[in-house]
Amino acid sequence: MTGAEIFVRALDAQGVEYVFGHPGGAVIKIYDEIARVNPRFKHILVRHEQGGTHMAEGYAKATGKVGTVLVTSGPGATNTVTGIADAYMDSIPIVVFTGQVPTSLIGNDAFQETDIIGVTRSITKHSFQVRRVEDLTRTIREAYHIAKTGRPGPVVVDLPKDILFAETPFTYPDDVELRGYSTELKLKMEQLTQAADMLKASEKPLLYVGGGTLNGNATAELAAFARKLNVPVTTTLHGLSAFPENDPLSVGMLGMHGTWYANQAVQHCDLIMSVGARFDDRVTGKLDSWAPHAKVIHIDIDPSCISKNVPVDCPILGDVKDVLEAMLPMVERKDTTEWLAQIDVWREECPLDFERDGKLRAQAVIEALREKSEGNAVVLSDVGQHQMWTAQYFSYVRPRSHITSGGLGTMGFCLPAAIGAAFGLRGMGEVDVPVISVSGDGGFVMNAQELSVAAAHRLPLKIIVINNRFLGMVRQWQELFHGNRYSHTDLSDTNPDFVKLAEANHCVGIAASTPAELKDAIDKAWAINDRPVLIECQVEKEEMVFPMVPAGASTGDMITERFSNDHDV
């Protein structure tokens, strides 16, 4: 059997559902075998390889499974770099198969040759280059194992062209044995006991929850733990949907654009228990003044994350699900009446709100989507102001219902990731759950070519473009910190007609510029279930995202409203 056929049959043996790919010369033999063998997995022809990697990310985040990408050599491979980096920063399990020139030509500057292993070495969890066809199935098996286990991440498998034409018998290994790589973590009872004692002694505890809780499928264990202890819960951007935001113990998102009351809770608590979070700089702000009164417990599956940014009093190395299950019998309900009442005072002092003057504002769009879906949706956002409003105003209650690019902050992520999430839900039979893609006008055009992919597969995406004719978040910083010099952020003269753009890609396009038009547009979009619908929301041009912790400032120094901007940074 040829290496190309072995590749196709190995993906079937691995249980792959979707391959997001684009053909080219170095992988043409694989595409020939896909046509000949007719595998169980479905190949999705993307319009750009970066879009393919984001589709794989969206699929992985929505399902908890490993996403798969297949591209050719040279530019096909380098076009995946942003998506690979994004997956690395956000701990998303994807496997990216890249074509390569024949082994005899590697290093000769052959046509479409790129050292993709070298290019991606610092942004992958692991990478392989297959040099013998006999190693192909073992390598594929190991790649999926590494991507999924421990702290998830991207794996690159480079496939020289001659390996795909070489022949050997097909066998697929049942097990994986990797020397020096073990994901079995034995919990240390003395650490669990220390953490339980610290929780018992604290008067103002706070659970700080990150994406590791979702990666570890530990949302039920988290809810049971928080409710038994009766302690408040704040989440990171990636932790949104790990704990239901309609629960009285939820204080919403913390950090740069988190709630006032979540950040006040951080600054006044006497104990923080980090659950699958990594103390990102967008959470902590100025490190030496963050949570100044708190002792810190840190649960993480990755030992390199513990005490990396914030010194920890009690480290717990382990899977979040295993740790919370083990600790649940060790903790007792706490009387946090005064602590929760104080948080409610902060909640009333500075609630999340915006001007409700009859004009169409981005926050109102997010609230309208929440009302229409009743929270039963998977919501994806791009990067910028709309991302923060989507985080603040949707109120997530369903696990894995919020997906965004947090670590790398990749504009153009949202639409292809929404396509991947929609395929994931289709694969799980959850076709009635709406997938809502929320982008700004700046980021949307960066991967708008993937609209035609969504239309070709009749995905009923609800695609929202928050059009304020600006690169809004940069404009906000220019107003607040750079003397109102809006350098190259006004998009008024270069934006496309988004409705016509949707229609040109076989989607339905609707424009809304008032709250009444928005309601009609959303009703129409929800009634269409055989193709994507794009709603262009023409919102107020110079809206600002508040609250806000300026970069490098203390979490206690939040800005809650516009101020006079007569200084630069």
**What value, to the nearest 5°, has the Cα angle with vertex 383 and ends 381 and 386?**
65
What is the rounded distance in angstroms from the CA atom of residue 210 to the CA atom of residue 373? 25
The residue from 42, 112, 170, 449 that is catalytic is 112
Instruction: Tell me if residue 334 is catalytic.
Output: no
Closest CA to 354 of 554, 565, 550, 539: 539
The reported pLDDT for the residue numbered 183 is 83
Q: Give the bridge partners for 275, in sequence order.
A: 209, 299
CA torsion, ordered 443, 448, 453, 454, to nearest 10 deg: 60
The reported pLDDT for the residue numbered 569 is 47
The reported pLDDT for the residue numbered 565 is 59
Tell how far CA 272 is from the center of its chain. 24
**What value, to the nearest 5°, has the Cα angle with vertex 442 and ends 441 and 445?**
80
The reported pLDDT for the residue numbered 566 is 53
What is the rounded distance in angstroms from the CA atom of residue 219 to the CA atom of residue 236? 14
| Average pLDDT of adjacent 10-residue blocks, the chain of 569 residues | 98 98 98 97 98 98 98 98 98 98 96 97 98 98 97 98 98 92 90 98 98 97 98 98 98 96 97 96 93 97 93 97 98 98 97 94 98 97 98 97 97 98 96 97 98 98 98 96 95 97 98 98 98 98 94 88 62
Which two structure tokens, joined as six digits, stand for 240? 């949104």
Q: What is the DSSP letter of 2?
A: B
What is the rounded distance in angstroms from the CA atom of residue 66 to the CA atom of residue 94? 5
The residue from 125, 148, 161, 204 that is catalytic is 161
Instruction: Tell me if residue 161 is catalytic.
Output: yes
Q: Give the bridge partners for 207, in sequence order.
A: 233, 273
Is-contact 5 33, C-beta < 8 A? yes
Instruction: Tell me if residue 430 is catalytic.
Output: no
Instruction: Tell me if residue 14 is catalytic.
Output: no
The residue from 111, 189, 349, 541 that is catalytic is 111
The residue from 89, 256, 327, 473 that is catalytic is 473
| Tokens 């609230």 found at | 367
What is the rounded distance in angstroms from the CA atom of residue 158 to the CA atom of residue 127? 8
Is-contact 253 237, C-beta < 8 A? yes
**What value, to the nearest 5°, has the Cα angle with vertex 84 and ends 83 and 90?**
90
The residue from 5, 17, 33, 49 that is catalytic is 49
What is Dmax (Cα atoms) for the chain? 72
Is-contact 242 320, C-beta < 8 A? no
Please enumerate in sequence order all residues whose Cβ is within 8 A of that of 335, keeping only pairs 6 or more positions apart, or say none. 230
Closest CA to 143 of 154, 159, 131: 154
The reported pLDDT for the residue numbered 380 is 98
Is-contact 245 253, C-beta < 8 A? no
Is-contact 27 50, C-beta < 8 A? no
Is-contact 392 253, C-beta < 8 A? yes
Is-contact 142 103, C-beta < 8 A? no
Instruction: Tell me if residue 186 is catalytic.
Output: no
